[in-house]
Amino acid sequence: MNIKYKLKEQIANKEFLERRTVTLKEIAEATGIHRVTLSKLANNKDYNVGVETLGKLCEYFDCTLNDIAEYVPPKKTDSKP
C-alpha cells in the first residue's frame, strides 16, 4: 500500500498545543474508532481504513485529510541494461 498515515504526527501536535498527553484510548472514546484500528494507523501498518474513519480523525484533530494520510508513490526501479 502506498498510503502513509500521519496519526502519530497529529497526536504529537495536539500534545504540544494542549501541553498534555493524548492517548489512543482518549481518541477512541472521542471518535468511536476502535483502539486497535488507531494503533495500526499510528504504526503505519498496511491497513485499509474507511473514509468515515478518516473523517472522524479529521474532525477530532481539526485538520484536513492530507494531515492524516498521504499518498506515497512507489519507488521506481531502474531497469537499465
* Three-state DSSP state, 43: coil
The phi, psi pair for 10, rounded to 5°, reads -65, -40
What domains sit in the chain, N to C, each tagged with a CATH number?
Answer: 3-67 (1.10.260.40)
State yes or no: pLDDT of 61 exceeds 70: yes
**Degrees, nearest 5: CA angle 65-40-63:** 20
Q: At 81, is the pLDDT very low, low, confident or very high (cuts 50, 70, 90)?
A: low
Percent of the chain with pLDDT over 90: 73
Instruction: Compute the half-sphere exposure of residue 73: CA atoms within 13 Å on the CB side of its CA.
Output: 3
pTM, two decimal places: 0.83
